[in-house]
Amino acid sequence: MKKMLTISLIFSLIVITSFIKNSTKKIDEELFSLKENILNLNLELDNVKLEFDYLSSSEKLLSYQNLYFEDKLTLKNINEIEIIDFTKEKILTNDVKIIDSEK
């Protein structure tokens, strides 16, 4: 009887250990996936912060224009701006529609 109890105890420990190992492996895979997603999101956040920092004010844009482009940039009227559509075989241009969001 004592031998049977010892064998059943060892067998149950092996089964429990196997179950715990499989559960831990699944959790580890989920953690790895989440860490990868967080890393990608952090990179995207850094890029957006950088873009915001450098393009957030008109004064900065004007200083960059003077610093890098000198007289290469010209002022355009908003009505002269068009959207170019390359989805079809022909190149189509559409006027930009300005929507006042304050209304």
Least Cα distance to 51 among 38, 67, 64, 39 occurs for 64
Residue 89: pLDDT above 70?
Answer: no
Query: Model's pTM, two decimal places?
Result: 0.44
pLDDT, tens digit, 9 for 90 and up, residues 20-33: 999 999 999 999 99
Q: Which residues contact 83 (CB under 8 A, 6 or more apart)?
A: 93, 94, 95, 96
Residue 58: pLDDT above 90?
Answer: no
Confidence class for position 37, pLDDT limits 50, 70, 90:
very high
Question: What are the strands, taking DSSP E only, across 7-102?
Answer: 82-85, 92-95
Neighbours of 65 (CB within 10 A): 13
Give domain limits for the chain.
2-71
